[in-house]
Amino acid sequence: MNWDALYEACMSCKRCRLSETRTNVVFGVGRRDAEVVFIGEGPGQQEDLQGEPFVGRSGQLLDDMMAIIDLNRENTFIANIVKCRPPGNRDPLPAEQTACEPWLSQQLSLLKPKIIVCLGRIAAMYMIKPDFKITKDHGQWFLQEGVHMMAFYHPAALLRDPSKRPETFLDLKTLQKKIREICSNTY
């Protein structure tokens, strides 16, 4: 499946009940050959309204974080595990994650990223390991099928608890170092 076919199929998805309450499918944004991919858990209210991931206050903080290490929405790809907003911004249920898995899997298959950054515990538990502990494991590298993966605190968590920002700055610098080591795609 190519990008256009994947996008069209995803836009009409009704694999789970989240499709009944969404305003927009939030497919993802960015470069279609990005070597660095950021993955969150699911769209929030602003993302659902605008159809783009990380556009609210968390998205503004993510943009600022990426800018620190010369990344942006044009040289990365940003997506979520689930493509529709869970009601009340609750965590996506396992059945919802499973229903959406083919979309993210196909996106990653087309992208072939060298690095995946999970934004928050839910994304890290889904992508890296089920018992991922964000307070203990953030900023550490995990290698899966040739892809380097790490997790940051979710930007929303950093808005709630600014005391975690110095740790996240160190995680950003760890990411920047890995990008310089293994990426070649205009970073």
pLDDT of residue 16: 95
What are φ and ψ of residue 27, in 5° steps? -70, -45
pLDDT of residue 152: 96
Specify burial of residue 137 (Cβ count, 10 A radius: 0-12, 13-18, 19+): middle
Query: Minimal CA–CA distance to 92: which of 15, 149, 171?
Result: 15
Given a cut of 90, is residue 185 above it in pLDDT? no
Domain assignment present for residue 118? The answer is yes
The C-alpha torsion from 134 through 80 and 106 to 130, rounded to 10°, is 30
- CATH classification of the domain holding 32: 3.40.470.10
Q: What whole-number percentage of the chain has pLDDT above 90?
A: 96
Q: Which two tokens stand for residue 141?
A: 């590298």
For 171, the domain range is 3-182
Domain assignment present for residue 74? The answer is yes
Domain assignment present for residue 154? The answer is yes
pLDDT of residue 186: 59
pLDDT of residue 89: 87
What pTM value is reported for the model?
A: 0.96
Domain assignment present for residue 187? The answer is no
Domain assignment present for residue 45? The answer is yes
Given a cut of 80, is residue 187 above it in pLDDT? no
Which residues does 168 contact at the CB level (< 8 Å), separation at least 6? 65, 138, 152, 153, 158
What element of type H or E holds 84? none
Domain assignment present for residue 24? The answer is yes
Domain assignment present for residue 62? The answer is yes
> Based on the structure, what is the number of domains in the chain?
1
